[in-house]
Structure 1
Amino acid sequence: MNKLRDTVWGYRLSIFVAVFLMLVELAVELALPFILKKIVDDGIQVSNMDAVVYWGVWMVVLSILAFFSGVTNTFFSGRVSQGVSYDLRKALMEKVQKFSYSDLHMFSTSSYITRMTNDVTQIGNTLFMSLRVMLRAPLLIIGSVIMSFIIDPGLTIILLATVPIIITFLIFVLRIGSKQFKQVQQRLDEVNRVIRENLMGVRIVRAFIRAPKEESRFGHVNSELKDDTIRVLKLMETMMPILLLVMNTAILLLLIIGREKVLAGQTNVGDMVALMNYALRVSSVFSIFSFLIMAFSRARASAGRVAEVLDADEKLPELKEGRVNLRLTAPPSIQFDKVSYDYPESSEYALTQVSLQVRQGDKLAIMGGTGAGKSTLLQLIPGLLVPTNGEIQINETSIADLSISELRKMIGYVPQESFLFSGTIRENLLWGAREVDNQTMLEAAKAAQIHETIEKLPNGYDTVIGQKGMSLSGGQRQRLSLARALVMNPKILLLDDTTSALDAATESKVWESLEQMDSTMLLITQKVKTASKCDSILLLDHGEVVAHGTHQELLATSTIYQAIVQSQLEEGETWPLLTTAEQPIELN
């Protein structure tokens, strides 16, 4: 909560001005019934028109002052509300950007979206209402009671007796309401999650004829959201009749006893007019308390959810001044020294004691079964994951000593899932390197074998692609993702099964282009034909290195690699596969 309070405190000047203007409005509102008493007692009762005009002018002047104070207060309140909302969304985004992959799993994607939008909006709206209404409401009650006590202490006791009862009831409702509104926000997370999954997987849903089932699943979470919302609204709406019953009873007693006192000459008509005005003001405040309590309960729940993200511990080290800025002019060497990594939610290591050396400009193919740790190994190099044990070095400098931002500028990373952003193809290609010229972009697209495809589109490189590039084929998305990495002219190129959706001819052309790259390259592949073209091959199994060498060396020494090669041999194909060795290698 400290970061949330600091964000609000950053607008303290506007808050002070808004509160001051609110107090001016409040003072006028408390003064008007007293002035009305003067008009009745000193003017109307004694037929003194001068007194009526005098106090009437004061009422008009003060009303105008309250009007301008209210308008100006609205401006400053809006500035605080929208400014804090903006800063919170920005802080949440910056926080999420600093999270490591494992940190991101603390909350679901739909929950992050809800917290950055709905929860922040609730906080902003409540801040606005606090500066306009919420702070004014309790002060108006206190002020009305004090002014009533000044006019007639005896009658004020009737009004005063209701206040503790009502406040106790409101605190009780507030505690229950905050818990229930937190549950409503969690239900909203679930609704957003189901909507997101169905929008992203709409093709799968239709292909497996799962639309009725998904509609039923959405109906279930939607129904739970509705039921929880109705339950908390019932609680809030129950407040109104109870509050009005208590206040109207107090006003009725005030009228009955006040009448007797007027007839007995113990008080005058002006006093009763003022007392009734104050009593009605207190009643009007309590009548909107159900709305205020509901807004405050929702904001309290939302503030807690936002604070959960802002106060979350980060496992990814933040950038610090004084770290080494390693500027590469040539492809570097990469060394793993007994590197291990375990995901927080897993009881087993994803990588165990991995040691390897990739020489400058070499190309290393990484192979292994599902869950072998291939993608984990690649993600350790740009610092997307932080090793549990061991050390990774770039040109004999530990990446722990490097500036993470500078390190990533030297790396071209193509993840297993080809993620594209909404926008034009040009914007996607220049997403990681906006300062490059158009010719560099075209050369990267040609190297990725996507240039001709782009040129055939209606608007070429300015063609707008949909969310995640769903309007493109899997192979086209992979090549665009590769081109985006090549645009950066990286000295380290990390490819996570980048050509899995390409046909053999296109993949061959892509590989020819990659061979010309001036980069140290690590690529994950399941294809022996691709791996055999690399300088060396790393074979992983359950997070451990089981073989490391050239294609020919592994054919001769690794039974696991031999089995992989054997499974990919086409009919009539013989050993050695895609090599220039003079003699074939016979397998036993």
Structure 2
Amino acid sequence: MKRYWKYIRPYLGAFILAPLLMLTEVFGEIMLPRMTSLIINNGVATKDVEYILGMGGKMVAIAVVMAAGGIGASYFSSKASICFSTDLRKDVFHKVQQFSFKNIDDFSTGSLVTRLTNDIQQIQNVVMMSLRLLFRAPGLLIGGLIMAYLMNRQLMVILLVVIPLLILAIVIILIAAFPRFEAMQKKIDRLNSGVQEALTNVRVIKSFVREDFEEKKFQATNRDLKEGSLDAMKIVVVSMPVMMLAMNVTTLAVVWYGGNLIIAGKMPVGDLTAFTTYIVQILMSLMLLSMVFLQASRAMASLRRVREVLDTEIDLTDDHASEKSAQVTSGKVEFRNVSFQYVKGMDEMVLKHIDFTAEPGETIGIIGSTGSGKTSLVQMIPRLYDADEGQVLVDGIDVRDYSIRNLREGVGMVLQKNVLFSGTIEENLRWGDENATMEEVILMAESAQADGFVTNFKDGYDTDLGQGGSNVSGGQKQRLCIARALLKKPKILILDDSTSAVDTATEARIRQCFQTTLKDTTKFIIAQRIGSVESADKIIVLDDGQIVGMGSHEELLESCEAYQEIYYSQRDVDKEAGA
């Protein structure tokens, strides 16, 4: 509970007022049946109109107070629950933003979306319900039992039989409900993951004419969720009729037994009317409690899932950084005997004993077959992953000794998967530097060979990109991402196969601009084409996570068999294409 106190404390007034105001309704519901019995026994029986009107006026006043209390309780319970869930959702999202790549790998995107939306909504609903029923249900139960006992102890025997049976039924229902609700939330995860994947990759689906396959896959996931939901809802479906049956049977028993007492002259008619009302209140309060417990069991499953996110230990932190104030100033990069694996404890390393130095301002080309570890290598530099063995140093300082923010501020990255965000082209470019002048934005767009096509748009830099840059081509998207990274003016720039969708002439112009715009920036260029890196100061050839060659283009053509194989195979392909 300590963890969640921080979400309650700012709205403590609402959390207190909601149940207190609900007490006015409880007081009224306890008093009104007794006052009704007094009207019947003392007013109707003696035809005392004045007594009836006087007692009726008091009942109206109580009803008005009950209505005001109910409205206030509903308002404050809504405010408390909504504010609680809003702050909780904010903290969960903040925690997700702190996740390393490894942490994100432990959760599916759909699962995180479900936890931030559906799971927190379940928690909000239970908080709201609990505040409204926190005093109401127990108050009606206890108050009803006291009033019923005071009115007729003989009829109380019926309740002493029914209530333990109902409590036992509620416990059995709750034990059965919790695992079903937990399973249902996991099936919502899978559905959300499938929907997100299908919508994100809708162009690929259409290009391969796989709509029917995706529909069948969705139907299977949707059907699985339906069956899981029905399985969970069976508990809710069963609980209500059981409670209603118990209520009706108990009411019939009370009326039958109480009727005999009236005939025998041992009980006034008004008392039986009030007692019957109290029976309904008592059983209804048990029903309300069972509903709260059922919803709480689902919310507990959701709370556990939210807690998993909040309790996730972030493996990349500044906690042990010894140079937190240090900043990247020159861009020198050193790898000292670096080895790395994604799944810890496995024998196979993704990178093995990597050693090299990139001097400030140098251009380093990285080439190798698919799966050779090129992307993994450059992800060590901004500390997206930590090396398992050895050291990665930037400006002579181990990357683990920088604050993550300062380190990444000095590194610009254009990833394999080019990502743009909803908004205008200018807004996307300003991710590199939100305070840049418009002249700087245009200059970097020109350097990335993006200004030409941007100015051809009707709205120029104010063109709305839509979701994920859906209205620009792959090559245009790559150039915008490069411009965004250039605007950051990083000391280290990493281009991870980021010109693959650009023609060779445009790529050559981009590289030429690098020599002027980024002459003091250390540049790492991952490429599949040797032509993209042959002018680099140093080329690293990777194979199976190891460096098998390093040097200039000419040196590698003489000494590195793997480089020769790539070079001649690509040259032959180019000749055939030219022919």
TM superposition score normalised by structure 2:
0.93
Corresponding residue number in structure 2 for 1:340:
339
Corresponding residue number in structure 2 for 1:559:
561
Corresponding residue number in structure 1 for 2:542:
540
The one-letter code sitting in structure 2 at the alignment partner of 1:300 is M
Query: 1:3, 1:341 → 2: CA distance?
Result: 36
TM alignment of 1:63-462, pairs within 5 A: 63-133=63-133, 136-286=136-286, 291-318=291-318, 323-328=323-328, 330-344=329-343, 347=346, 348-462=348-462
Query: 1:385, 1:16 → 2: CA distance?
Result: 46
1:497 offset after TM fit, Å?
0.8
Corresponding residue number in structure 2 for 1:34:
34
The one-letter code sitting in structure 2 at the alignment partner of 1:343 is Y
Report how many aligned residue pairs link the two structures: 572
1:549 offset after TM fit, Å?
1.9
1:467 offset after TM fit, Å?
2.0
Relative to structure 2, which stretch is displaced further, 504-513 or 32-41? 32-41
Matched, 1:489 2:481: no
8 Å Cα contact 2:19-2:134 kept in structure 1:
no
Change (3 A) 1:96 1:391: same
1:296 offset after TM fit, Å?
2.8
8 Å Cα contact 1:492-1:521 kept in structure 2:
yes
- Report Cα offsets for 1:202-222 as digits up to 9, x if no partner: 222222222222211111111
1:369 offset after TM fit, Å?
1.4
TM alignment of 1:466-481, pairs within 5 A: 466-481=466-481
Per the alignment, in what secondary structure is the counterpart of residue 464 of structure 1?
Answer: coil
Corresponding residue number in structure 1 for 2:532:
530
Query: 1:538, 1:229 → 2: CA distance?
Result: 54
1:164 offset after TM fit, Å?
1.3
Relative to structure 2, which stretch is displaced further, 372-381 or 309-318? 309-318
1:572 offset after TM fit, Å?
9.9
Corresponding residue number in structure 2 for 1:549:
551
Q: Output the aligned Cα RMSD.
A: 2.2
Query: 1:101, 1:481 → 2: CA distance?
Result: 20
Query: 1:238, 1:324 → 2: CA distance?
Result: 60
Query: 1:372, 1:120 → 2: CA distance?
Result: 42
8 Å Cα contact 1:320-1:403 kept in structure 2:
no
Query: 2:40, 2:344 → 1: CA distance?
Result: 75
Query: Which consecutive residues of structure 2, in runs of 5 or more, have no partner in the other structure?
Result: none
The one-letter code sitting in structure 2 at the alignment partner of 1:499 is T
8 Å Cα contact 2:318-2:402 kept in structure 1:
no
1:364 offset after TM fit, Å?
0.9
Query: 1:506, 1:181 → 2: CA distance?
Result: 56
TM superposition score normalised by structure 1:
0.92
Per the alignment, in what secondary structure is the counterpart of residue 547 of structure 1?
Answer: strand
Change (3 A) 1:558 1:12: same
1:378 offset after TM fit, Å?
1.2
8 Å Cα contact 1:236-1:290 kept in structure 2:
no
Query: Which consecutive residues of structure 1, in runs of 5 or more, have no partner in the other structure?
Result: 574-588
1:242 offset after TM fit, Å?
1.8
1:491 offset after TM fit, Å?
1.2
Query: 1:321, 1:138 → 2: CA distance?
Result: 54
8 Å Cα contact 1:410-1:491 kept in structure 2:
yes
Per the alignment, in what secondary structure is the counterpart of residue 352 of structure 2?
Answer: strand
User: What is the aligned-residue identity percentage?
Assistant: 34
Change (3 A) 1:408 1:59: same
Relative to structure 2, which stretch is displaced further, 50-59 or 361-370? 50-59
- Report Cα offsets for 1:168-206 as digits up to 9, x if no partner: 111211221221122222222222222222212222222
The one-letter code sitting in structure 1 at the alignment partner of 2:178 is S
Matched, 1:513 2:513: yes
8 Å Cα contact 1:177-1:294 kept in structure 2:
yes
